[in-house]
């Protein structure tokens, strides 16, 4: 992760993308670092949100393709886990898409929505709103911590 600090906003985009997959990664530290280093807060939040949203939508796409081998191999999500969440997610797609930023279960939500063939536009908009709100709140909290 240390190498991503050197790439500024590009590193933040990549870190945010990876954080939205099952790769154990944290983009928040890099966002805080960039804000503390003087990067424009709005730009940093938009870049982080875009990367995280695209990462979440890639998990949605893998679920949509429905290849269990890919889901279990690359996302490390077991079929039983998705099946357990199926009834909870059905007819509540927008809520689960909005909450896809939540650590540990957000990836399951994104993949599950893909498997359920949730409306792509509703999913995309709700997911973007949730991820954007997450980074806005994080940036605000970071500003409180790093402010002189």
Residue predicted with more confidence, 9 or 147: 9
In the prediction, which pLDDT does 104 show? 79
Query: Among all chains, which residue has been given the structure tokens 């679920």?
Result: 63
In the prediction, which pLDDT does 3 show? 62
Mean pLDDT of 93-102: 90
Segments forming the whole domain that contains residue 83: 2-146
Rg (the chain; Cα; Å)? 16
pTM (two decimals): 0.82
If you ran DSSP here, which 8-state letter would residue 8 be given?
Answer: H
Each residue's pLDDT tens digit, 103-128:
878 888 898 899 888 889 999 999 99
In the prediction, which pLDDT does 60 show? 93
Total domains present in the chain: 1
Split at pLDDT 50, 70, 90, the class of 93 is confident
DSSP, residue by residue, 71-139? HHHHS---HHHHHHHHHHHTT-HHHHHHGGGSTTTHHHHHHHHHHTT--HHHHHHHHHHHHHHHHHHHH
Split at pLDDT 50, 70, 90, the class of 144 is low
**pLDDT at residue 89 greater than cutoff 90:** no
Each residue's pLDDT tens digit, 20-72:
876 777 888 889 989 888 889 999 999 999 999 999 999 999 889 877 777 77
Q: Which residues contact 10 (CB under 8 A, 6 or more apart)?
A: none
In the prediction, which pLDDT does 57 show? 96
């Amino acid at each position: 992760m240390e190498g991503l600090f050197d790439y500024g906003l590009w590193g933040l985009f990549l870190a945010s993308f990876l954080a939205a997959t099952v790769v154990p990664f944290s983009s928040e530290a890099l966002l805080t670092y960039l804000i503390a280093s003087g990067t424009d807060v709005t730009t940093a939040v938009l870049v982080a949100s875009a990367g995280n949203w695209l990462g979440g939508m890639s998990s949605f796409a893998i679920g949509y393709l429905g290849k269990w081998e890919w889901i279990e191999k690359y996302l490390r999500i077991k079929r039983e886990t998705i099946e357990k969440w199926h009834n909870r997610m059905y007819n509540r797609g927008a809520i689960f898409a909005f909450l896809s930023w939540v650590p540990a279960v957000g990836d399951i939500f994104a993949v599950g929505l893909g498997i359920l063939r949730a409306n792509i536009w509703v999913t995309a908009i709700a997911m973007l709103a949730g991820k954007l709100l997450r980074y806005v709140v994080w940036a605000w909290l970071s500003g409180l911590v790093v402010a002189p």
